[in-house]
Amino acid sequence: MRLVHRKRTPAGNREDFRVSTHFTNPFTHELKLSPVQKVQIALMTVTLFPLRLLCGAFFMLLAWPFVFLATMGRTDDAVEPLTWWRWMLGLIIKGIMRAMWFSGGFHWIRVKGRLALPSEAPILVLAPHTSYFDGIPVTMTMSSIVMKAESKHVPVWGTLIKFIRPVLVSRSDPDSRRKTLEEIKRRACSAGQWPQIMIFPEGTCTNRTCLITFKPGAFIPGVPVQPVVLRYLNKLDTMSWTWRGPGALTLLWLTLCQIHNPVEIEYLPVYTPSEEEKRNPTLFASNVRNIMAKALQLPTAEYSFEDGQLSVIKGPLSLPGHSGLLEFSRLVHKLGLKLGVTDEFLQEEGKKACNLSGRKLSLEEFTEYLKLPLTETLQDIFTLFEEHGQMDVREYVIALSVICRPSKYLKTLQLAFRMFEAEDDRAIVEDELAVILKSVLGVEDVSVGDVFRAVDTRDKGKITFDDFCHFMERCPNFMKLYRCIDEPTTHTSSGLVQPATNSFCPDCSSQEQNNTRHIKKQD
């Protein structure tokens, strides 16, 4: 029996939807320029901007020979005593780096508190992580950082970063995460023989409206850490480099066009973990985050790097500001529903939704479906999907799939087809395709009827998931326009595809230039 689905407003476009008033989206940054600021930037662009850019490049090149001498003959994986001449070269390099920042408009860098010795706090944790300008405290202290191994091969830049003896992460090594943690622990437990390691535990950039979840890597060694907070004091925020907002080059241009870029670095007291915190790095990280949030007078939010990916997705619950998925992710995390979600779990959830045969659930029935007590958080989740007092559980399962595996659109599409298809021929009709495209990809700016007819080449009035995969083979631009995160795909019997070239796609040729996504892969 076919699943009945009447025409209605697609998920995420309901007039009665409301986002909690306490919701904060830390992954977006909207930059609004006043007429006066636009005039200032125009004048600075043709006057001071090129001069600052040239000076910055000059000082970086000037530092290179000193860095080359300082690293000559030094091994990367062994502790060596700091000789007087390396110490002198280090002072010169710090001076050149400070001149570079000064030439870029960072005239006043105020430092509060005292930087602890490596023996007192082998790890420095910095927050909030905002942009590449967060490298200022790195160049001022010459502390080690964690960065990808490929960076050391970049001309000039590779030699400069070699001086601070970074902990290198290799993306091609499947054991890289384990090796990185072991190296951090080895250096942290060396009784101050290694330089301090400076870590941004948030793991991605935010707009400084809150502190997101700290990753436990910096806290696994169980050694004392020194919290360090950063404050950019410009009235015009040209620093925040987020998942949605101005790109890196735009922010660099706008920042260098500012007359002055004041920065404040505050070293908080060293935090020594308790025995319980040593056994529980997550608790250790949470307690340090609370201290830093209090110093910054910012709230905390249970978001992570993975949630940042959701801010660039056009999928279910998409609202102005792309807040719906983030709010859903927060609520699901709060209820503990996000833990242990695997592909197999989502398949089982899909089967449970299919057994309802398209029947809508009330709040009480949804509570029974999840086998959880009725709470305000659960009611908020229900509100995200509710229409006229009822919700379609299939939309909940689709949203859960998106937030738990945001880069696997094809698997979510396949799961959606399985929940909406008929039992006899495993096919769906046009109205059901409209709901699937809206829920999974956020597609609403193309005619679903045109897409359906392009997929339904045999004019059956219904399509299968394999039919849709063949359509994507013929129309690579469709997924290029409506997928925000790359996912390697190959054609298999299950319907996963590798897009081909040159084909028909409704509206894609005219929209391709206007739908280019700016995606940043944060370390």
HSE-CB at 208 with a 13 A cutoff on CA atoms is: 21
Q: Which of 84-88, 105-109, 365-369, 409-413 has the lowest mean pLDDT?
A: 409-413
Q: Read off the amino acid at residue 518.
A: H
How confident is the model over 429-450, as pLDDT tens digits? 888 888 887 777 665 555 777 8
pLDDT above 70 coverage of the chain, percent: 81
Residue 103: enclosing H or E segment and its boundaries? helix 84-103
Q: Which of 41-45, 199-203, 430-434 has the lowest mean pLDDT?
A: 430-434
**Whole-number Å distance between alpha carbons of 13 and 15:** 6
Predicted local distance difference test score (pLDDT) of residue 86: 87
- C-alpha distances (whole Å) from 311 to each of 127, 131, 379, 458 are 21, 17, 23, 38
**Whole-number Å distance between alpha carbons of 204 and 312:** 14
Structure-token match 């081909």, residue found: 500
pTM for this entry: 0.71
How confident is the model over 325-377, as pLDDT tens digits? 777 888 888 888 877 788 889 989 888 888 887 888 999 999 999 989 999 98
- List the beta strands (DSSP E) in 204-261: 225-232
Predicted local distance difference test score (pLDDT) of residue 443: 57
How confident is the model over 296-339, as pLDDT tens digits? 999 998 888 777 766 666 555 443 334 567 778 888 888 888 77
Predicted local distance difference test score (pLDDT) of residue 444: 57
Phi first, then psi, for residue 244 (nearest 5°) are -125, 120
Other beta carbons within 10 Å of 160: 21
DSSP 284-315: HHHHHHHHHHHHHT--B----HHHHHHTT---
pLDDT greater than 80 at residue 18: no
pLDDT greater than 90 at residue 13: no
pLDDT greater than 70 at residue 198: yes
How confident is the model over 462-500, as pLDDT tens digits? 899 888 888 888 877 776 665 544 444 333 333 333 333
Phi first, then psi, for residue 444 (nearest 5°) are -150, 0
pLDDT greater than 80 at residue 510: no
Q: Which residues contact 516 (CB under 8 A, 6 or more apart)?
A: none
How confident is the model over 361-420, as pLDDT tens digits? 999 999 999 989 999 989 988 988 888 889 889 989 988 888 888 777 788 888 989 898
Structure-token match 């070239």, residue found: 501
From the number of C-beta atoms within 10 Å of its C-beta (0-12, 13-18, 19+), residue 227 rates as buried
Q: Are 278 and 225 in contact (CB under 8 A)?
A: no
Instruction: Report the alpha-carbon angle 509-510-513, nearest 5.
Output: 90
pLDDT above 90 coverage of the chain, percent: 37
State both tokens at 259. Answer: 């007359």
**Whole-number Å distance between alpha carbons of 213 and 225:** 17
> If you compute the radius of gyration of the chain from its CA atoms, what whole number of angstroms results?
26
